[in-house]
Chains A and B, each alone.
Chain A
């Protein structure tokens, strides 16, 4: 069973409210939801929409073709009608104009009636969300009574939670006992900043907004030096500003975690849309040669786990850990029955100021931490840093899940992908003869990748960028070029139905 509902309208009309109410009810009713948020870089007006996908089994993606349109204005109807399936339904907001502020509740009511979910479920949700709910209940009933049942969704026995990548960042930070998070607003990293800031006192954390990303990362290095477990968050443009300090991290070896949530570049690009085009800078930004790990979660659950792993690795190996996400993972609302693994306990055992004399320098330094230009010490320091990376690599190899294999394990058709594209690949190959190799650790890169590539007859690379950045990385590390590539770079993630058609042609 799979349904796709588009809720569209102008920014400010409350499309998120409709999808949130309906998702919450569906999830409590035992259904899996995936909510894709498509919005423009504006506050009021324009055209935004959510695609709420519903299924009785685990999903991580949405469809291009639509079963139901909820149109908050004429533009939404005109935009989405061409994608409406034959026999698809349309709910028009204009009919509930009289409901005023409770318009969205009436729309939720109409939608739930079509899905065949009893009205009590909506009433309960309203009572939970609103203090003054009498009028809302009336609007809900009006909406509910306006439609007739088209589908009958039976109550299922699943314990499901809704989670976005941004919320996952905050949960992961809490689980790992992060001390300080510093950021500067930039879509799509802002929601993680908001989520962390909201409960900072309760979670015994400090969330600081600095004057620019240069300051953000400089402060985080200072805080980490003083003994706080520290993380910064940004998107591509802000990350560019941080580059010099990534390099400072390399030489000072002050533990640091960077959350990089990509969007469409270059430049300001298409700021509220998605892309996997910053893998190159995640791997290489910063002058000089120094070690780092780059980890790319594919789902919010993986994201929660990876926050703790990234913090652990950065503290254990005094290294830079980069968590690479994007708008699609950060802002889409996934649902899952999985619970993340328990976070590894992270203890700061370093010498810190206040109790000892400890020096960190942007210059190569001697054993006292003071500057040196000695060729002997320079070489020894470089060796020390490279050996540290080898130790980290060994640790990761034997303790952490660097890749995941999904689909038919013995298939000769191999799909290679990473990050937010993983979800839609997992969904699309469910009924196909294909295996999906999800790369989670981009640096270090798992040696399993070569083995899988050598075993397969037909390999397809799927990424949301124009140059196949993971493909290039794999070629660099293995010498194997993946010829078949499916690359999307218009700011929109793959739809499951769209990907199925492409894969049907390529497999």
Chain B
């Protein structure tokens, strides 16, 4: 089933044109170096493999450009299927507690503002347990990236409903079906003064690489929603690819609000806009604290202050 979709999707071919320069040999080597010896325990065919590939490609290109070393990156991961990416990436970081990946990452930035920090979370993790941290991260605007693996279901705990699951979703914990309407995280981001909001498809690796690169380059808190199918649980929400369409990077708040409303996480018909839904430039947390400005100028953390 999954393979078929990839072949059918007309978008995949188009996107390849927009992809960054073709990986050279050095990038392939750097990508290998970003991997670990840990046994990969994602389900065969899980789109998480493609997210991992996109992250490796993005970071290998960064490291190849000599702008950053591998050691300059630090990650945090939440708990859930997505979090296993921590074990598969040879990068510094904290594999934290459920819901706490964002404040842990902000702490790293306070401890050394020169680090390039990326946080991986799931929809269950960040919209349930960690929602307060997400809203405050938008407000504080630390210079880091958040990659949300949103498959509209708690998978590692065997298929319960998350805040983005569709109304009516029947699970073992809610056999009467989910009564609520799903949250719209894009609207929450806009309401919380987010400075970078993007949405990508986990099956579209080149587009993921493009958007992840933009997210890391953005000076501020970059929120990237990765739409992902779970091939085991809540499969009703899968195969949205056909409804997805790409938009050019948007800076207009009015347009952003319109784009945010196009998909309500419930419907089976609405179009789903993909790409940078909104971005603007606001001073980030690290540039507002004089202590952190000083550490950045001297390119050190507190350890060498």
Residues of A within 8 A of B (CB): 179-180, 182, 200-201, 204-206, 208, 210-212, 214-215, 218-230, 244-245, 248, 252, 254, 348, 352-363, 366, 368, 370-371
Contacts and interface: CB of A to CB of B under 8 A. Distances in A.
A366 to B, nearest CB: 8
Contact of B111 (A200, A218, A226): A226
Given A179-B302, A227-B303, A357-B92, 10 more contacts: A222-B104, A222-B106, A222-B107, A225-B94, A225-B104, A226-B109, A226-B110, A354-B114, A357-B91, A360-B93
A352 B94 CA distance: 12
A377 B117 CA distance: 29
Contacts of B36: 368, 370
Contacts of A226: 74, 107-112, 115, 301-303
Given A211-B132, A245-B100, A370-B87, A225 B110 contact: no
A152 to B, nearest CB: 51
Contacts of B126: none
Interface in B187-227: none
Interface of B: 36-38, 70-74, 76, 79, 84, 86-87, 90-97, 99-100, 103-112, 114-115, 132-133, 136, 289-292, 301-305
Contact of A360 (B38, B94, B112, B292): B94
B301 A222 contact: no
Contacts of A206: 110, 289, 291-292, 302
A210 B107 CA distance: 10
Nearest to B133: A215
B95 A179 contact: no
A220 B110 CA distance: 9
A219 B84 CA distance: 21
B71 A223 contact: no
User: 10 closest A-B pairs (Cβ-Cβ)?
Assistant: A222-B107, A226-B111, A227-B303, A219-B107, A223-B111, A353-B92, A218-B103, A228-B302, A361-B95, A179-B302
Nearest to A248: B97
A352 B115 CA distance: 11
A11 B136 CA distance: 34
A180 B111 contact: yes
A371 B107 contact: no
Given A221-B104, A370-B36, A180 B95 contact: no
A87 to B, nearest CB: 57
B71 A219 contact: no
A218 B101 CA distance: 8
A437 B110 CA distance: 42
A355 B289 CA distance: 23
A360 B95 contact: yes
A358 B100 CA distance: 19
B87 A222 contact: no
B71 A361 contact: no
Contacts of B86: 359, 361, 370-371
Contacts of B70: 357
Contacts of B291: 200-201, 204-206
A372 B91 CA distance: 17
Contacts of A210: 103, 136
Given A210-B103, A227-B112, A353-B112, A222 B90 contact: no
Nearest to B73: A353
